[in-house]
Amino acid sequence: ETSLTGKDLLTLADWKADEIKQILHYAIQLKKEKQPKQLLAGKTLGMIFEKSSTRTRVSFEVGMLQLGGHALHLSSRDIQMGRGESIADTAKVLSRYLDAIMIRTFDHEIVEELALHADIPVINGLTDDYHPCQVLADLMTILEYKSSFAGKKLTYIGDGNNMAHSLMIGSAKVGLDCTIVAPKNYKPKAEIVSKAQEIAKESGAKILVTNDLKEGIQHADIVYTDVWASMGWEDETNERLEAFKDYQVNIESLAGANPDYIFMHCLPAHRGEEVTGEIIDGPHSVVFEEAENRLHVQKALLASVM
C-alpha cells in the first residue's frame, strides 16, 4: 500500500491507477464495517461551496463525523472569498485551522490556485471541468456490480461536461472502455479527450467520442447520463432541450446495450429530459447505491489523505 497522506485530489489524472484502486478497495472495506473507526478524531475538513449540493455536502459532512472528525460548511456567500478575498490568502489562512479543504466551484483554475497555496490536502468537490469524487464512487459501484473493469464498457450519453471528462479520465486510469455519446456542439473538451487517450495507453482502455447513439450504446455494460444543463448553464436550458432531444436514455435508445447493463446517474436527475422515469426507477438502475457510495469512497479518501 502506498501512503496517500497529504495528497490533493484535483482530477483523477494526477493519481496513479494503483492509488485510485487502493481507495476503491478501502471504500468497499469501510462499507462493510458497521462501527466506523475514529480514524480522524480531532481533525477538521472545511467545505467551500460556490454552487449548490445535496450529496457532496451531506456525504462529506457525515463521513467526517463517522470518522470522529468535524466538517465546516463554508458557503462563498458567507466567507470573505465571496467578497473578493484572494484565493491564495484564503488557502494560507485556512491551512492554519483545518486539516483539509474540499471545494466546489466554477473554474477549475480556482481549485488549482487554492491547492498551490494551501499546506493541507485540497479535494475537488466539482468544477466546471471535473468531478473526481463522483467518479471514485462510480468506479466503486461498477466494481460492486461488474466485479472488474477490464473488458467492460461504459457508455455516457449527453453533455460533454465535468462528468463526461472525469468518467473518461477515471476509466482510462483503471482500464474501463469508455464511449462518450454527445451531440456535435456539446462534445467533451478536445484537450481532455486527448489526455484521457494518452492515459489509456497504459491501461489499454478504449476512450471514444461519437455523436452516433446507436453505435455508441452497442455492448454497453454501464449506461450513464447526466443533466443537459449543468450548474452555471441554466440560461441555456431551452436551447439545450432542443439540442439533446435525440439523446435521451430510454427503452429505445438502450437497444444494443448488454442485457445485464446497469444504469448510472450522478444525480440530481431530470426525469423526462436526459432519462425516462422508467429507466432511472427501473430494475437496471443503481443510482441510489451509487449515491450511497459517495459516503464510503470519500471516507476512504479522507482517511487516506488527512
Active site residues: 104, 131, 134, 226, 266, 294
Residue 230 binding ligand CP, by CB under 6 A? no
Residue 162 binding ligand NVA, by CB under 6 A? yes
Residue 274 beta carbon to ligand CP: minimum distance, rounded to whole angstroms = 14
Q: Which stretch binds ligand CP (CB under 6 A): 50-58, 145-153, 154-162, 216-224?
A: 50-58
Among 230, 253, 285, 304, binds ligand NVA (CB under 6 A): 230
Q: For residues 83 and 76, give the distance between their C-alpha atoms in angstroms, rounded to a whole number.
A: 8
Residue 166 binding ligand CP, by CB under 6 A? no
- The set of cell numbers assigned to 218 is 452497442
Q: In the complex with ligand NVA, which residue's Cβ is closer, 268 or 277?
A: 268
Look at residues 231, 70, 257, 222 and name the one whose alpha carbon lies nearest to residue 159.
Answer: 231
Cα separations in angstroms, 275 against 268, 271, 290, 294 = 12, 6, 16, 21
Question: Which residue number has the CB closest to ligand NVA?
Answer: 230
Residue 54 binding ligand CP, by CB under 6 A? yes
Residue 188 beta carbon to ligand CP: minimum distance, rounded to whole angstroms = 18
Contacts to ligand CP from residues 101-140, by CB under 6 A? 126, 134
238 annotated ligand binder: no
Residue 161 binding ligand CP, by CB under 6 A? no
282 Cβ contact list (under 8 Å, min separation 6): 263
Q: In the complex with ligand CP, which residue's Cβ is closer, 31 or 206?
A: 31
150 Cβ contact list (under 8 Å, min separation 6): 175, 176, 204
Which residue in this structure is represented by grid cell 488557502?
A: 91
| Residues 235-254: x where in contact with ligand CP by CB under 6 A, - otherwise, as a string | --------------------
| Chain residues in the site for ligand NVA (CB under 6 A) | 126, 161-163, 226-227, 230-231, 266
Binding-site residues for L-ornithine, please? 162, 226, 230-231
